[in-house]
């Protein structure tokens, strides 16, 4: 079996319905509307998303990060004209901190089972994670909503103050700078931060543990010159080699219950296939 056939088998055995349908829509000519039908089930009346759409957040209630997961799915379907988007932006506006960004996680998470790293203060400030990624994706799809201007100002301000960064923050910064329309400003900030961003990247494809590799930052070709083609080719080779015997890929962070390993596995497997296709590493027929 080829890469796609093996991945399909993995999803049939382990994947959530939404990830099976994403695979069908993206690689087998399946219905994109069926993916949207399922995605709507994760959206709450307040416009936010919950219900373990982000598998490490198990609660039903809305949190900022699941909105980012939903936006990436809408992006891959080119479905930002969905009514889910303005509803989600209304939700983001309702939880935005005084500084203009949405928090990493809301205190309501304390009532829910969750990964141990989802902790927060009582009154959390805005965070580039996930504000920068959310704003970047809204800019990519030319969405007009009052929240976006507020979030964009927040991102420029916070990014302008960054000297050193962490892997997840760096990934959010790259998403924002790659997609925001003010290219002159984005390229100037990228030039200033490029080495700080690269300091968070594991260039050795064999590095163990919770490493962040180039294709985590550049899941598809970037406008920003973050990696050489040689680096990307090395990691595409490694990505193909890392497909498991049962056809999937999984995260390299702690899987704190067996269930999340399966749920992340399906989501990530579809994402890795998208990356291989974006760089021309999947069969075209």
- % of residues, the chain, pLDDT over 90: 98
Return the structure tokens found at 197.
Answer: 């961003």
pLDDT digits (tens, 9 = 90+) for 44-99: 999 999 999 999 999 999 999 999 999 999 999 999 999 999 999 999 999 999 99
pLDDT digits (tens, 9 = 90+) for 119-130: 999 999 999 999
Residue with tokens 């690269």: 198
User: Which pLDDT band, with edges at 50, 70 and 90, does 284 fall under?
Assistant: low
> CA-based diameter of the chain, in Å?
53
Determine the pLDDT at residue 65: 98
pLDDT digits (tens, 9 = 90+) for 231-250: 999 999 999 999 999 999 99
pLDDT digits (tens, 9 = 90+) for 169-195: 999 999 999 999 999 999 999 999 999
Q: Please report, for the chain, the start and end positions of each structural domain, with discontinuous segments joined by +.
A: 1-29+203-284, 42-200
Q: 15 and 260 in contact (C-beta within 8 Å)?
A: no
Determine the pLDDT at residue 16: 98
Give the chain's mean pLDDT.
97
Residue with tokens 């960054």: 162
Determine the pLDDT at residue 73: 98
What's the mean pLDDT in 134-158? 98
Determine the pLDDT at residue 55: 98
Determine the pLDDT at residue 134: 98
Task: Return the closest-CA partner of residue 127 out of 106, 148, 143, 149.
Answer: 106
- % of residues, the chain, pLDDT over 70: 99
Determine the pLDDT at residue 68: 98
Query: Hey, what's the torsion of the CAs at 158, 159, 163, 165, to 10 degrees?
Result: 90
What's the mean pLDDT in 20-43? 98
Determine the pLDDT at residue 235: 98
Q: 63 and 106 in contact (C-beta within 8 Å)?
A: yes
Question: Given a cut of 80, is residue 200 above it in pLDDT?
Answer: yes
Q: 187 and 224 in contact (C-beta within 8 Å)?
A: yes
User: Which pLDDT band, with edges at 50, 70 and 90, does 214 fall under?
Assistant: very high
Determine the pLDDT at residue 156: 98
HSE-up (13 A, CA, CB side) for residue 44:
18
- pTM for this entry: 0.97
Question: Given a cut of 90, is residue 1 above it in pLDDT?
Answer: no
Q: 92 and 151 in contact (C-beta within 8 Å)?
A: yes
């Amino acid at each position: 079996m080829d890469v796609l056939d093996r991945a399909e088998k993995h999803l049939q055995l382990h994947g959530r319905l939404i990830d099976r349908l994403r695979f069908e829509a993206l690689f087998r000519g399946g219905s994109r509307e069926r993916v949207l039908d399922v995605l709507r089930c994760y959206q709450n009346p307040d416009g936010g998303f919950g219900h373990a759409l982000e598998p490490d957040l198990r609660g039903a209630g809305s949190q900022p990060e699941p909105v980012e997961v939903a936006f990436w799915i809408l992006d891959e379907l080119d479905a930002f004209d969905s009514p889910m988007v303005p509803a989600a932006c209304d939700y983001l506006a309702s939880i935005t901190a005084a500084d203009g960004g949405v928090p990493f996680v809301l205190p309501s998470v304390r009532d829910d089972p969750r990964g141990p790293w989802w902790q927060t203060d009582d009154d959390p400030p805005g965070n580039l994670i996930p504000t920068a990624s959310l704003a970047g994706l809204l800019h990519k799809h030319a969405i007009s909503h009052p929240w976006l201007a507020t979030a964009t100002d927040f991102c420029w301000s916070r990014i302008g103050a960054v000297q050193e960064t962490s892997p997840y923050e760096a990934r959010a910064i790259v998403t924002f700078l790659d997609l925001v329309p003010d290219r002159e400003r984005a390229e100037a900030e990228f030039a200033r931060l490029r080495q700080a961003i690269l300091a968070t990247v594991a260039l050795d494809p064999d590095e163990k543990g919770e490493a962040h590799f180039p294709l985590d930052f550049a899941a598809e070709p970037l406008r920003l010159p973050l990696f050489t083609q040689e680096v990307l080719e090395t990691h595409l080779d490694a990505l193909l080699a890392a497909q498991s015997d049962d056809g999937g890929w999984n995260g390299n962070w702690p899987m704190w219950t067996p269930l999340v390993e399966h749920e992340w596995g399906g989501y990530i497997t579809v994402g890795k296939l998208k990356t291989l296709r974006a760089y021309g590493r999947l069969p075209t027929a």
